[in-house]
Chain A
Amino acid sequence: MRNKKLIFILLIILFSSLSLSHQFSRREISLRISPLSINFPPANPDLVPLIPAESQIIVEMFISGNEGRSWQLTVLADGDLRAHKGEKIPIENISWTGSPSPPFVNGSLNKRKPQLVASGQGNINLNGQLNFFLRNSWNYRAGEYSQTVIFTLSSL
C-alpha cells in the first residue's frame, strides 16, 4: 500500500515537472490590427478602376516559443460585400498588397477559403502594412456595402 502511495506521488511529481518545463516553453501568440475598419469611397470607374481604401492596415504580430515551427497569417471573408437591399459585390473584387515581402504576400479576399497573408518560421515580433483595393465597375448597384473579414494568426 505504501509503495503504491509512493508511486502515485512520484508520478504526480514527474508529470508536474514535465508540464512545468512545457509551461516555460509555451507558445505565446498575439495579433493586432489597426484600424479595425476600412472604407472605400465612391469613384468614377473610368477614372479610378482600382479604388484604394482610405486607410492602411497596420498588422502587429508576436509569437514566442515557436522554435522549429512555422506560422501563418490568413484572412477569410464572412461573405460578399452586401448592401441593405440585398445587392452584392463579389468579395474577390477586393485585393491587397502586403509589405514587407516576405513574409507578407499580395492576394484577394475569398469567402470560402482562407487566403494567405503572411507566413514564416520560428518566433516573430514584427509589424506589417496591408493596402486594400476595390476593383471598380459600372456594374455595381449604388448603395452602402459592408462585410467582415477575419484575420487568423496560427502557429502550426
Chain B
Amino acid sequence: MKNKISLLILIFALFTIPFYLNSDEIQELTINATVESRCKIEVSTHLITFTRVNPDVERLIPQNEEPIEITVKVITRPHEKIYLRVQATEDLIDPKTGQKIDISNIKWKAKGKGFKRNGHLTKLMPIVIGSWNKSGIWNGTLIFYLENKLTYAPGTYSTVVTFTVSDF
C-alpha cells in the first residue's frame, strides 16, 4: 500500500511540477566602454599688459587685468601625472628699438589645487606651474608681475608665452 501511495505522489508530482515552475527567461548583455586619456586647457584671456610706474614706489608691477583664470581638464590613466607648463618664446622686445627686457623679470603667483604658488618666466625651457595625478576639472588663477627696474629703456615691449598640458 505504501508503494502505491508513493507511486501516486510521484505521478502527481511529475504532472504538476512543470505547471508550477517559475516562468522566467533571462539573457545576458555585456557592456564595454573605452575611456581615453585626454587633456584640455582653457585660459580666460589672451592678452595682459603692464604699465610702468616709479621703481622707487613699486618694485613689482601687477598686470593691469584681472587674474587669469586657468581651467585644466584631464582624464588620466592610473599612475599617470599631468603637467601644466608655461614658456616664453622670447624676452620682452621693443620692435622699434630692439631693446630687450629679460623675460625672467616677469614673475607669477598662482592659486588653486595642484598649482605651484609662484615662479618666474623663462625662455629656455617650459616651467611647471601645476600638476595633477587624478582625472577631473582643475581651476586656478594666475597673476603676472613685472619686476620694476631703473635699467629698462623706455619703450613698448611684448612677447608671447605658451601654456601646455602634457603627461610627461
By a beta-carbon cutoff of 8 Å, the part of chain A in contact with chain B is 4, 8, 11-12, 15-16, 18-20, 22-23, 26-27, 29-33, 36-42, 44-46, 51, 53, 57, 63, 75, 81, 85, 87, 89, 94, 132, 134, 138-155
Q: Which residues of A contact B19 (CB under 8 A)?
A: 19, 22-23, 26
- Inter-chain contact B35/A37, CB cutoff 8 Å: no
Given A26-B18, A139-B135, A154-B24, A41:B38 Cβ within 8 A: no
- Inter-chain contact B78/A141, CB cutoff 8 Å: yes
Q: Which residues of A contact B33 (CB under 8 A)?
A: 39-40, 51, 81, 89, 134, 144-146
Q: Which residues of B contact A132 (CB under 8 A)?
A: 31
Interface residue? B48 (CB, 8 A): no
Given A81-B31, A145-B34, A31:B26 Cβ within 8 A: yes
Q: Which residues of A contact B26 (CB under 8 A)?
A: 31, 150-153
Interchain CA distance A147-B27 in the complex, whole Å: 14
Q: Provide 21 A-B residue pairs closer than 8 Å at the C-beta atoms, listed in order of the A residue.
A: A15-B15, A20-B15, A22-B16, A29-B23, A31-B26, A36-B30, A37-B32, A38-B29, A38-B31, A38-B32, A40-B32, A94-B31, A138-B75, A141-B135, A142-B77, A142-B135, A143-B77, A145-B34, A145-B35, A146-B32, A153-B26
Contact of B11 among A16, A27, A57, A152 (CB under 8 A): A16
Interchain CA distance A151-B30 in the complex, whole Å: 11
- Inter-chain contact A150/B75, CB cutoff 8 Å: no
